[in-house]
Amino acid sequence: MVSRLRFHLDEHISPKVAEALRRHGVDVTTTIGADLRTASDTAQLDFCRREMRVLVTQDADFLRHSRTDNAHAGIVYCNSQRTISEIVRGLILVYEILTVEDMQGRVEYL
């Protein structure tokens, strides 16, 4: 059985990305919506691991975390210069091509 990806957007990703993904049928949560706005990076990653959600971020601190601990559900790192439409297109591509199993401990760059 192929498991569909679910995303979690950190607070640096525009809420417009979540809205666009939802219109495409993608299950997505946000840091603010999950009441994690003041939570540490570790708490964010723990939430994603428990919920089996790929973290979408522009925060390079998460890349450092992934180098020392790859026991996460996956990270998609977006360059801060990317437009909302570029981020959405990239995430839909990741969603359509990769599975939950593929993303385990993996970092994808947009």
pLDDT per residue as tens digits for the range 57-74: 999 989 888 888 788 999
Contact 79, 110 (CB under 8 A): yes
The pTM for the full model equals 0.93
Helix axes 61-68, 41-51, angle to 10 degrees: 60
Spans of all domains in the chain: 7-109
Contact 54, 90 (CB under 8 A): no
The half-sphere exposure of 93 on its side-chain side, counting CA atoms within 13 A, is 10
Each residue of 70-93: pLDDT tens digit? 889 999 999 889 999 999 999 999
Each residue of 26-45: pLDDT tens digit? 999 999 999 999 999 899 99
